[in-house]
Amino acid sequence: MADGGSGAFDLLHPVIQHHVVNTLGWHGLRPLQEQAIEPVLRGHDCLLIAPTAGGKTEAAMLALLTRMEQGQWPGLSVLYVCPLKALLNNLEPRLASYAGWLGREALVRHGDTTAGQRKRQMLERPSMLLTTPESLESMLVSRLLDARHMFADVRAVVIDEVHAFAGDDRGWHLLAVLERLTAIAGRPVQRIGLSATVGNAEALLSWMQGGPAGRARPRTVVAPRPSGAAAPELRLDYVGNIGNAAKVVSGIHLGEKRLVFADSRRTVEALAVRLREREIDTYVSHSSLSVDERRRAEAAFAEARNCVIASTSTLELGLDVGDLDRVLQVGAPTTVASVLQRLGRTGRRAGSARNLTFLATDDSEFLRAAGLLLLMDDGFVEPVIAPPQPRHVAAQQFLGTALQKGRISLADEASWMAELALASPEELRAIASWLVSTGHLDTDEGLAFVGPAAERRYGQRNFMELLAVFTAPPEVTVLHGRHEIGSVDSMLLVTKVQGPRIITLAGRPWEITHIDWRHRRAYVEPSEQVGESKWMGESRPYSFELADAIRRVLVGETPPGAELTKRSLVRLDALRAQYAHRVAIGSTVVADDGGQVRWWTFAGARANVVLTAALGEVAPELLDEWTFGNLHVSLRSDATAGAVGSALRMARGVLGDDLISVRPAVTEQALRRLKFSEMLPPALAVATLSARTADYRAAARIARSAVT
């Protein structure tokens, strides 16, 4: 920790200095907090980078509260934006306390905020509002709230977990909403992003600043190097199935608090049931549990000692569940960034070390974990890159601004959207024309307003479905009496079963006693029988770097920074023998696996979709149903390495060395999953999805490699 009497600390408001020392009891500031003070006070846009629990919130807020008080900022002057309501709820008491030092107020605003609380916030604006992008836009378009009065005094916005926003369309949505807020404020709004470690900090900060005007503002990345941090304790075990994973979790680190991550809700539920069968004090957290159920579990876990909480990535993003002793991972995520986030949940107490144990239940999980550990040894962290060509977000913004203003100039709205790079000027004109022609917008005397098609499609529930760029799959709410437990995929309730229908939710089995399909509710009673759980989900494509790291593991590299158990070493030897004819150093491999011929690229699904499309352009006779995975492309049974190599040379000659002119096929099902796709001209909708499924850089690299 830095010396509390340092020059940077002395720049803070005297009241804040007093409370840091006397209320928080800090003897000094952490390096990130110290280094952030000066650029934040100077009004720079900043990206503050540190692991989970690295003090990022305080790094931003101590300096911002100082600016607020020194500048006597009136009204609502600071917005604090988070990706999760649960994270906002977790942060509110802390930020309210900090604001209270200066006689100011910090309040939360999201979908669970009551009507009474909303009315009070409008009449008596807090100095700081904690919210989500969706709630921000709902305030902009609300007929019950004067957006100009509410947001006219905004001076700064803090974007927590900015890497999580930037990685999907919610990031583009947030940037668009901030542009509209900046227009209301009539002044530049300082932007401060808080992030875990990323591989492209400068680029992420530039993206976060918005359009050209934003990127012209001074900016600073604050990312102190950790000093003297001990190497983390990393371990890889192969357990074979969920039952064995529960056995291992229940038998190690007894007397300690263990957070166990899994990358699907179904796995979390199955693990919790098996841990409870072993009489382990177990709690559950994932996105399909009710707010009350999650809060109860997380609070109980925070207060307990010898216990386990099983969670999806919901507990990856900084939620406070108290001091942790151990983090375990059943299976493996698909990014190093996720591993670092989860690893950062441990090692916070003096004398404790960061630690993470992988428990692989199958071969793909085992190879993925080994690949991630190898990349960590390389010092690799994925760059955070916003999804390309967010044209559907532009379409949504045309309607959002029409709801906000009543009548809009399509040309004026297209101007700022083009600067933000939501689409090109030509594409924006095409989108606007399409919205008018389909009735999503109507026009009168040169101005556009919400049309009948948008009213029919989105008008219910005050256009709330229009204000979220992500699609939530339809689920059925599960209730025990009046208590909401969570929700499940409706398909789980229609499949044929013998005897009573038993489901698992919140780590407990329940018998379905009644289903109210009209209101999408299922009523349950506790059961002693074994149940199951199910939710819709999509597989996550591997990056080229992860797929290539798996190849490196299979040809003989072993992660030097991790302990591999005896079981995992035995499994690794078996997998290397199993893949020996599919993997080579310096080339890709065409191999016959018992009559099924595959081209083993180890390139990741986004590269393989491009390679499949390229072969389809020049040599479709080589392909078997145009199927591919993360590690291979399926070929016809008579395909040979020579034929594939010849086809790749032809493809580079016809399509260009970078293969950039190749357009992967887009299915109707995929189009339906792109929210607002119906608001785009069909060709632009297809082009948007096609660009998002492709990794041309990796595909071109593989196309230039030898094929054996």
pTM summary value = 0.91
Spatial distance between the Cα atoms of 126 and 105, rounded to a whole number of angstroms: 5
Does residue 576 fall inside a structural domain? no
Instruction: Mark which of 448, 467, 486 sits at the end of a domain.
Output: 467
Query: Are 659 and 633 part of one and the same domain?
Result: yes
Other CB atoms within a 10 A radius of the CB of residue 313 amount to: 16
Residue 384 DSSP one-character state? -
Q: Is the pLDDT of residue 350 over 70?
A: no
Q: What is the mean pLDDT of the chain?
A: 92
End-to-end CA separation in angstroms for the chain:
55
Q: What is the pLDDT of residues 244-294, one digit of tens each?
A: 999 999 988 887 888 999 999 999 999 999 999 999 999 999 989 988 888
d(CA 570, CA 575): 9
Tens of pLDDT, residues 451-500:
999 999 998 877 888 998 887 777 899 999 999 999 999 888 888 888 89
Q: Which domain, by its residues, includes 247?
A: 233-378
Q: Is residue 32 part of a domain?
A: yes
> Which one has a higher pLDDT value, 347 or 367?
367
What is the structure's pLDDT at 379?
93
Task: Tell me, yes or no, whether 38 and 61 share the same domain.
Answer: yes
Q: Are 35 and 118 part of one and the same domain? A: yes
**Measured in whole angstroms, how far is the alpha carbon of residue 595 from the centre of its chain?**
40
pLDDT in tens, 73-89: 999 999 999 998 888 98
Residue 119 or 299, more confident: 119
Measured CA to CA in angstroms, residue 707 lies from 497, 598, 645, 696, 704 at distances of: 49, 12, 6, 18, 9
Identify whether 533 is part of a domain. no
pLDDT at 320 over 70: no
Rounded (10°) angle between helices 544-554 and 696-703: 40
Whether the pLDDT of residue 666 is over 70: the answer is yes
Q: What is the mean pLDDT of residues 310-337?
A: 84
In the predicted structure, residue 310 carries a pLDDT above the cut 60: yes
pLDDT for 323 beyond 80:
no
Segment 537-566 shows an average pLDDT of 94
CATH number of 411's domain:
1.10.10.10
167 with 264, same domain: the answer is: no
Helix H, strand E, coil C: the string for 542-582 is CCHHHHHHHHHHHCCCCCCCCEECHHHHHHHHHHHHHCCCC
In this prediction, residue 687 has a pLDDT band, given cuts at 50, 70 and 90, of very high
Q: Indicate whether 685 and 624 sit together in one domain.
A: yes
The whole-number pLDDT of residue 5 equals: 46
Q: At residue 4, does pLDDT exceed 60? A: no
Percent of the chain past pLDDT 90, that is, above it, reads 76
Of 467, 489, 513, which residue is a domain's last?
467
Per-residue model confidence (pLDDT) at position 645: 96
Query: 252 and 336 in one domain?
Result: yes
Indicate the number of domains in the chain.
5
Structural domain ending residue among the three candidates 201, 222, 243: 222
pLDDT tens digit string along 548-558? Answer: 999 999 999 99
What is the reported pLDDT for 351? 64
Same domain membership, residue 67 and residue 179: yes
Q: How confident is the model at residue 139 (pLDDT cuts 50, 70, 90)?
A: very high
Q: What is the pLDDT of residue 665?
A: 86
Whether 276 and 250 have beta carbons less than 8 Å apart is answered as no
CATH number of the CATH domain containing 290: 3.40.50.300
CA distances from 658 to 361, 535, 630, 701 (A): 38, 38, 20, 8
Please write down the long-range contacts of 113-119, taking CB distance under 8 Å and 24 or more positions apart: 118/144, 118/145
Please report, for the chain, how many H helices and E strands are present, in that order: 28, 26
pLDDT at 678: 95
State the Cα–Cα distance between residues 330 and 89, nearest whole angstrom. Answer: 28
